[in-house]
Amino acid sequence: MPTRTVAVGSASGLHARPAKIFVEAAAKAPVKVTIRVGEKKPVPAKSMLSVLALGAKQGTEVILEADGDGADEALDGLAALLAQDLDADDAH
């Protein structure tokens, strides 16, 4: 199963606006994507409550996983998104 490890780039971490942008992008992915912190249980990346519950702050490394056709492309896009400061006005 393809995975990507990425440090959260947003100043506020995966909360509010950054989480919403990430969850919306994950929901559009052609494959099921999960996200986790460390060895914790993976949660669906398209679930706002699950993503918020991760408590990922700026610099926290998260692991994205997906399987199926288009998984690598989906993970590349989502990892690039998470690495940005999604709190910035010109993000995405």
- Model confidence over 22-45: pLDDT tens digits? 999 999 999 999 999 999 999 999
Give the active site residues. 15
**Number of H-type helices and E-type strands within the chain:** 3, 4
Exposed/middle/buried for 45, CB within 10 Å: 0-12, 13-18, 19+?
Answer: buried
Angle among Cα 52, 36, 71 to the nearest 5 degrees reads: 110
For residue range 48-90, list pLDDT tens digits in order: 999 999 999 999 999 999 999 999 999 999 999 999 999 886 5
pTM score, whole prediction: 0.94
